[in-house]
Chain A
Amino acid sequence: METMEHPIATGGEGAFAAAVPFLFLAAALMAYVVAAVRQRPGMRPWSRWRILSFLLGIALLAGAMLPALMRYAHHDLRGHMLQHLLIGMLAPLGLVLAAPLTLLLRTLPVGGARYVTAVLRSRLFHWLSHPLTAFVLNIGGMYLLYLTPLYMLTLTNPVLHYLVHVHFLAAGYLFVWSIAGPDSAPRRPGMRVRVSVLFISIAAHAFLSKFMYAYNWPRNTPHPLQQLQEAAQLMYYGGDVAELLLVVALFARWYQIGSRRAYALPAQARR
């Protein structure tokens, strides 16, 4: 399978192109840490756990984009699956739980913050960030990639290849945010909707990976059968870990909000 030289394998311009994602990651990390450290005086300092969470998310993304893993992933479906788990499921957890949106709102001057809130309040954002939309974009994207010739195309088309990674990250982030995002958002659906969508999502992911195992998807690839099956198993168990963490994040959030309510309510309720 050497139809396309991976950009990282070639020197010169290719090496620069390969460095671009890392530059983005470094810039994002720097912006986050600077904003977190330089909070306005009088405000509660930004949580260290959140900084650590963001760092972890960025580290997982960087790990997924290491040239060695990129090359491995290009000719081995197991490598691709590992990348997919890191970019689309685990890294978004770290990033979302770091609440970069809240940090942005706290850091921006009033005018800019107002603009951001206007976007958050818009109907389009509400629609896009609904758990159900995010679920379709996230898991639907996986069905599309593995059960259509799309996966084959990404092996020969570098632009498509990058787009798929970007989609994994964006859709994964959106989904985690819609389920367990710590940022306060207007009209965020309640627990019942979120648990239901998460339930469907876990089932759909488990079904897809077992279906791939049983019927040898993605088809018409140069990968041997055993590799397909091992990749599907990695997808099943790896996805499990990521989803378990997401369920924990969701219920931990519920518990935390409940404690705020528990401390606020009795004083009013008793007198």
Chain B
Amino acid sequence: MFAFLQPHEEKKYMKHDKQPPDISRSRGTGVLIGIGVMAAVDEIIFHQLLAWHHFYDQATLEIGLLTDGLLHAAELIALVAGFFLFADLRRRHALAPLWAWAGFFLGLGGFQLFDGIVDHKVLRLHQVRYGVSLLPYDLAWNLAGLLLLLIGVGLAFRAHRAAAHYRAAADQ
């Protein structure tokens, strides 16, 4: 299983130069891409295609407009930074794919939950949909987020176990 964690071509030929995968960078990169992708999905599907959310709704507070701007900036940078960091990890043969996947799902789920609870309910930036009973939509939104988050946690456990395995094998 830990074959995922090692760049393949270095394995045979450069035993002494073998670089350990950069776990925290891989995980962080996954989180950034996850946040960016979920934000893009939200923006493209719910704002543009379904038009369930509004560009601005009359209930949005001024502070809501401000946090909306900050969030938007964070999403834009997260997506681009994530892809370039990913490319850099690949280039350095330092990618730990399982950790990157774990981070990706943590990012997806974390953002979805954050959006569903903080943005929709606490800050009241906008709601999932208008003119309908909100409860089922909010439940579906947040449960989907929770599910993604749990997948991320599960993958992180697997990656952790794999890394421990790998270390034990390397010590012998």
Complex interface bits, B68-87 against A, C-beta within 8 A gives 1, otherwise 0: 11101110110011011001
Please tell me if the beta carbons of A255 and B88 are within 8 angstroms of each other in the complex: yes
Does B56 reach chain A (CB closer than 8 Å)?
yes
C-alpha gap A224/B160 in the complex (Å): 60
Does B12 reach chain A (CB closer than 8 Å)?
no
Please tell me if the beta carbons of B76 and A262 are within 8 angstroms of each other in the complex: no
Please tell me if the beta carbons of B88 and A199 are within 8 angstroms of each other in the complex: no
Does B91 reach chain A (CB closer than 8 Å)?
yes
Interfacial chain B residues near A236, Cβ < 8 Å = 55
C-alpha gap A107/B164 in the complex (Å): 58
Please tell me if the beta carbons of A244 and B91 are within 8 angstroms of each other in the complex: no
Residue of A nearest to B65 (CB): A210
Interface of A is mostly: helix
C-alpha gap A72/B91 in the complex (Å): 49
Interfacial chain A residues near B69, Cβ < 8 Å = 202-207, 210
In chain B between 143 and 161, which residues have their CB closer than 8 angstroms to a CB of chain A?
none
C-alpha gap A17/B140 in the complex (Å): 61
- The CB with the most chain A CB atoms within 10 A, among B55, B66, B74, is that of B55
Interfacial chain B residues near A101, Cβ < 8 Å = none
Does B24 reach chain A (CB closer than 8 Å)?
no
Please tell me if the beta carbons of A210 and B76 are within 8 angstroms of each other in the complex: no
Does A170 reach chain B (CB closer than 8 Å)?
no
User: Known: A213-B55, A214-B56, A251-B84. Is A195-B77 also a contact (CB below 8 A)?
Assistant: yes
Does B9 reach chain A (CB closer than 8 Å)?
no
Does A162 reach chain B (CB closer than 8 Å)?
no
C-alpha gap A151/B72 in the complex (Å): 27
Residue of B nearest to A240 (CB): B76
Nearest CB on B from A229, distance (A):
9
Please tell me if the beta carbons of B76 and A244 are within 8 angstroms of each other in the complex: yes
C-alpha gap A101/B69 in the complex (Å): 33
Interfacial chain B residues near A199, Cβ < 8 Å = 73-74, 77
Does A115 reach chain B (CB closer than 8 Å)?
no
Interfacial chain A residues near B77, Cβ < 8 Å = 195, 198-199, 202, 247
Please tell me if the beta carbons of A233 and B55 are within 8 angstroms of each other in the complex: yes
Please tell me if the beta carbons of A206 and B72 are within 8 angstroms of each other in the complex: yes
Please tell me if the beta carbons of B80 and A254 are within 8 angstroms of each other in the complex: no
Nearest CB on B from A226, distance (A):
13
Nearest CB on B from A156, distance (A):
30
C-alpha gap A137/B161 in the complex (Å): 52
Does A15 reach chain B (CB closer than 8 Å)?
no
C-alpha gap A243/B80 in the complex (Å): 11
Does A260 reach chain B (CB closer than 8 Å)?
no
Please tell me if the beta carbons of A203 and B70 are within 8 angstroms of each other in the complex: yes
Please tell me if the beta carbons of B74 and A207 are within 8 angstroms of each other in the complex: no
Please tell me if the beta carbons of A202 and B65 are within 8 angstroms of each other in the complex: no
Complex interface bits, A191-221 against B, C-beta within 8 A gives 1, otherwise 0: 0000100111111111100110110000000
C-alpha gap A203/B66 in the complex (Å): 8
- The CB with the most chain B CB atoms within 10 A, among A199, A211, A214, A270, is that of A214
Nearest CB on B from A193, distance (A):
14
Interfacial chain A residues near B76, Cβ < 8 Å = 202, 240, 243-244, 247
Does B165 reach chain A (CB closer than 8 Å)?
no
Interfacial chain A residues near B68, Cβ < 8 Å = 206-207, 210
Given contacts A206-B68, A251-B80, 8 further A-B contacts (CB under 8 A): A207-B66, A210-B55, A210-B56, A211-B62, A214-B56, A214-B65, A247-B77, A255-B88
Q: Please give the residue numbers on chain B whose beta carbons come within 8 Å of chain A beta carbons, in ascending order.
A: 17, 55-56, 60, 62, 65-66, 68-70, 72-74, 76-77, 80-81, 83-84, 87-88, 91-92
Q: Which 7 A-B pairs have the closest CB atoms?
A: A207-B69, A202-B73, A206-B69, A251-B84, A203-B73, A203-B69, A247-B80
